[in-house]
Amino acid sequence: MAPIDLRSDTVTRPTEAMQEAMRRAELGDDGREGDPTVRKLEALAASRVGKQAALYLPSGTMANLCSLLTHTSRGAEVLLERTAHIISYENSGLSLLGGLFYRPIPGTRGAMDVTALEFAFESGLASKQLAPALVCMETTHNTAGGAVLPLDHMAAVARIARQNGAKVHLDGARIFNAAVALGVSADKIAAHADTVCFCVSKALSAPVGSLLCGPSAFIERARHFRRMLGGAMRQSGITAAAGIIALETMIERLRDDHANARLLAEGFHQVDPSLVDPGSIETNIVRVDISGSGRSAKRWVEELAAEGVATSDYGRTQLRFVTHRHIGPVEVEQAVAAVRRVRERSVQQPRQRAAG
């Protein structure tokens, strides 16, 4: 049996249509006069999120960093929800490379407390510090288990930022998952931010790449930082061709990933109700709490791997499972069975030690 890989939707492989498009892509030098296929992808990406222009980058981390560098200057303050991906998983690029100070804002399921956000602006003015220059939101929210920011919350955050002269950037790595979950087009979400970035290399299945989208003048400035960070590629139309297919053909099927994530959570809940609340699953990420099992998350990952299921540990007490196009109901059933076996062993072994 082939391993069931639920570590992330980044493990998806290009579709046959993507591979064919990559073979046939019209190419140029994107670091010089431009690559025609890249330009086509950038135009398509901008239109999908309702922005004037877009810039193709190797990764979401670089896209976020380019946005932060373009929006701000050294010494500026950036406000983010305290568990944001930019803070937790992007290796302090905003501080080390941008000279930026960030202030974490408390939140619930990835949504900033708007009262705390207002206070962050007010306290800066009261202490005669520079007012925060940028507010960053994230949807879907990785650490919050794929939670989707409500549109009215995003509107409130954007209103507070703009009333205080700050810009808004949206880390929308999985913005199309959010759009499918909300039943709206992605531009309705992106309307609450000045700039947005998203990945085509996660559940959309392209092999690589992210797009930073915003006003034309902003994107031209961001191009400078892309080169500074080493992100200006050459015949990148080869990979951009797959990104075009991703945006044209892979968005609607994300609802299948969401349905399979709910099936997965329901199965885990039947194994042990303390593992996960199926009602908390909004998109394609399932966070599982194994704190009551008496085993570390690392041990769970090892035992599940032995059962043919790959997953990720988050701290000592949580696991993350992510559904994608290579995971269907059969794989979900097998993953649930593997979790059941590991859970049963975790219960039986303490009993055996006690009996001994």
273: its two tokens = 């109700």
Q: Does pTM surpass 0.85?
A: yes
Pair 71, 83 in one domain: yes
Residues 216 and 299 occupy one common structural domain: no
Kindly indicate the confidence band of residue 66, based on its pLDDT and cuts at 50, 70 and 90: very high
3-state secondary structure of 124: helix
DSSP annotation of 34 reads B
Same domain for 192 and 308? no
| Number of domains the chain contains | 2
Q: Do 161 and 259 sit in the same domain of this protein?
A: no
pLDDT in tens, 238-256: 999 999 999 999 999 999 9
What pLDDT score does 352 carry?
Answer: 43
* For residue 107, pLDDT beyond 50: yes
254-271 helix and 175-182 helix, angle to the nearest 10 degrees:
80
| Rounded distance between C-alpha atoms, residue 12 and residue 201, angstroms | 8
pLDDT tens per residue, range 164-196? 999 999 999 999 999 999 999 999 999 999 999
Say yes or no: 208 and 332 in one domain: no
Examine the fold and report which residue of 249, 266, 284 is the final residue of a domain before the chain moves on.
249
Confidence of residue 96 (pLDDT cuts 50, 70, 90): confident
Dmax over CA atoms of the chain, in Å, equals 74
Cα 269-272-278 angle, rounded to 5 deg = 20
C-alpha 341/C-alpha 352 separation (Å) is 16
Answer whether residue 241 is part of any domain: yes
Do 102 and 25 sit in the same domain of this protein?
yes
The mean predicted confidence, pLDDT, of the chain is: 94
Mean pLDDT for the stretch of residues 81-93: 92
CA distance 223 to 67: 10
Q: What is the CATH number of the domain that holds 301?
A: 3.90.1150.10
How would you class 294 by CB atoms within 10 Å of its CB: exposed for 0-12, middle for 13-18, buried for 19 or more? exposed
Which domain CATH number covers 82? 3.40.640.10
Dihedral of alpha carbons 226, 93, 74, 170, sign: positive
Cα gap 339→107, rounded to integer Å: 31
- Residues of the chain with pLDDT > 70: what percent? 95
Tokens at residue 172, please?
């929308």
In a domain, 2, yes or no: no
Q: Does 232 lie in the same domain as 266?
A: no
d(Cα 71, Cα 154) in Å, to the nearest integer? 19
Whether residue 126 is predicted with pLDDT greater than 90 in this model: the reply is no
Last residue of a domain, one of 222, 249, 276: 249
Asked if the structure places residue 4 within a domain, the reply is no
Question: What ranges make up the beta strands (E) of the chain?
Answer: 4-5, 53-57, 77-81, 101-105, 107-108, 111-112, 134-138, 167-171, 195-199, 210-214, 285-289, 309-310, 312-314, 318-322
DSSP codes of every residue in 3-25: -EE-S-GGG----HHHHHHHHH-
The mean pLDDT of 47-72, rounded to a whole number, is 97
My answer on whether 48 and 193 are in the same domain is yes
Whole-number pLDDT of residue 350: 53
User: Same structural domain for residues 144 and 208?
Assistant: yes
Q: Are residues 210 and 117 in the same domain?
A: yes
Q: Find the angle CA(117)-CA(118)-CA(121) to the nearest 5 degrees.
A: 95
Mean pLDDT, to the nearest integer, of 290-307?
A: 94
CA pair distance 339, 73, nearest whole angstrom: 48
pLDDT digits 0-9 by tens, 323-342: 999 999 999 999 999 999 99
Q: In this model, does residue 353 exceed pLDDT 50? A: no
Separation between Cα atoms, residue 263 and residue 328, nearest integer Å: 10
Whether residue 325 is found in the same domain as residue 236 = no
The string over 39-68, giving b where at least 16 C-beta atoms fall within 10 Å of a residue's C-beta and e elsewhere, is: bbbbebbbebbebebbbbbbbbbbbbbbbb
The reported pLDDT for the residue numbered 355 is 38
- The alpha carbon of residue 101 and the mean position of all alpha carbons in its chain are separated, in whole angstroms, by 22
Q: Please, are residues 193 and 168 in contact by the beta-carbon 8 Å criterion?
A: yes
Cα of 221 vs its chain's centroid, Å: 24
206 is in which domain, residue-wise? 12-249
**Percent share of the chain, pLDDT over 90:** 85
